[in-house]
Amino acid sequence: MATVIRIAIDCMGGDEGIPVTVPAAFAFAQRYADTHLLLVGLPEEIEQAVSVCAKRYPDVSSDRYSIVAATEVVTMDDPVEVALRRKKDSSMRVAAQAVKDGRADACISAGNTGAWMAISRYVLKTLFGIDRPAIASALPNQKGGTTTMLDLGANVDCTAEHLLQFAIMGTALAQAGDVNHSPSVGLLNIGEEVIKGNDIVKQAAELLRQSTLNFYGNVEGNDIFKGTVDVVVCDGFVGNVALKSAEGVARMMSVMVREEFSRNIFTKLLGLIAMPVLAKFRRRVDNRQYNGAALLGLRGVVIKSHGAADAVAFGCALERAREAVQTGLLKRTAEAIAKLTNSQVEAVSSTQSGDSE
């Protein structure tokens, strides 16, 4: 099987743009010989970067990538309306269109999240049965594996049905191609406190219990990193806050470790001696390796890289795109959703006809 995985890269997106995206693309192409990259953006600028990278990565022959011109660039603070309506030839739009037209299997951008979500949704449309796309990411857990979490910020207000759809999409992502694996799903809730969750969460739990998903039950914030379940589902407001709180603590603790080892000459010396161990710790908590969120529920594989990603982090996001294509994420998600929709239609019609068969 020598299928080529074609990825359309918005080279203009992110805090750095081309200086990060193009070198990352070449490094990635060198790592994975089964890929073809569409480098989308202002052609002169990309060509310049390509001529430098082509020398640095001689193994990546010129038939491994193509430059696809776009005349406009969505900036980090462009309002969604501007990105969508005024910049119709933006690199984001052209990248998404390449997937729509079947010229690419996946697209990726490190640009403005809101604009990327709106554009990819507008161009690709949602899968049948999905009301709202969601942002999903794999986070490291204490067990040494990852926990897939969604929604991380696309939808601030969700119904119970939306949360169920997120659970289905998250399950498909966490399966990663192994259809026999039935990832456990947890519903993010609050614990021992006064009232356990709001009405929407309670209704969602009911829907999840009735579904064919491997529903574990409610989980709390700490369970994300404990690895209690494979998939954690929540609305985008809660998910975004949880993710960023976690990032904040991780950064604070890394700073503290560094501070303690640079307090005086003795501790600095210790830090030097302990360097290999500390470096290993740093690698494990390095969030660059978890870069690359999936925008799930669209008729195409769409990946969002962190805006501040460097070439290493952007390369990890490219790997997410490749994995999603390779494991048939889209087909599996569509099938799971269709199954649910059918079973719901059946449930409704059997209720209506009074026939419980």
CA atoms within 13 A on the CB side of 342: 7
* 36 contacts 65 by C-beta, under 8 angstroms: yes
- Footprint of a copy of itself on residues 205-244 (CB under 8 A)? 220-226, 234, 236-238, 240-244
**Of 253, 345, 347, 348, the one binding a copy of itself by CB under 8 A:** 253
Alpha helix (H) residue ranges in the chain: 18-31, 43-56, 80-81, 91-100, 113-124, 160-175, 199-210, 221-226, 236-261, 265-273, 275-285, 311-326, 329-353
Give the span between the Cα atoms of 227 and 206, in whole angstroms.
Answer: 23
148 sits near a copy of itself (criterion: CB under 8 A): no
* 103 contacts 6 by C-beta, under 8 angstroms: yes
* 27 contacts 51 by C-beta, under 8 angstroms: no
188 sits near a copy of itself (criterion: CB under 8 A): yes
**Of 135, 169, 172, 185, the one binding a copy of itself by CB under 8 A:** 135
17 sits near a copy of itself (criterion: CB under 8 A): no
263 sits near a copy of itself (criterion: CB under 8 A): yes
250 sits near a copy of itself (criterion: CB under 8 A): yes
**Of 36, 125, 203, 261, the one binding a copy of itself by CB under 8 A:** 261
First to last CA, the chain: 44
348 sits near a copy of itself (criterion: CB under 8 A): no
Q: Which is nearer to a copy of itself, 57 or 225 (CB)?
A: 225
- Footprint of a copy of itself on residues 293-322 (CB under 8 A)? 307
**Of 44, 63, 157, 357, the one binding a copy of itself by CB under 8 A:** 157
43 sits near a copy of itself (criterion: CB under 8 A): no
Sign (positive/negative) of CA torsion 249, 255, 261, 264? negative
Measured CA angle at 158 (ends 156, 161), to 5 deg: 160
**Of 90, 97, 113, 137, the one binding a copy of itself by CB under 8 A:** 113
Q: Which is nearer to a copy of itself, 57 or 261 (CB)?
A: 261
Residue 268 DSSP SS3: helix
Question: In terms of DSSP bridges, do strands 184-188 and 134-140 run parallel, antiparallel, or are they unpaired?
Answer: unpaired
Q: How far is the CB of 177 from a copy of itself (least distance, A)?
A: 27
**Of 69, 82, 190, 312, the one binding a copy of itself by CB under 8 A:** 190
Q: How far is the CB of 114 from a copy of itself (least distance, A)?
A: 4
Q: Which is nearer to a copy of itself, 25 or 302 (CB)?
A: 302
Contact region with a copy of itself (CB under 8 A), list: 29-37, 98-106, 108-116, 341-349: 108-116
Contacts of 155 (CB under 8 A, 6+ apart): 132, 134, 162, 235, 236
Q: CA nearest 164: which of 344, 34, 347, 355?
A: 344
Residue 158 DSSP SS3: coil
Residue 71 DSSP SS3: coil
Contact region with a copy of itself (CB under 8 A), list: 53-61, 110-118, 176-184, 203-211: 110-118
Contact region with a copy of itself (CB under 8 A), list: 24-32, 173-181, 187-195, 332-340: 187-195
Task: Give the binding site for a copy of itself (CB under 8 A).
Answer: 76, 80, 112-114, 117-118, 135, 140-142, 152-157, 188, 190-195, 197-198, 220-226, 234, 236-238, 240-253, 255-257, 260-261, 263, 267, 270-271, 273-274, 277-278, 280-281, 284-285, 307
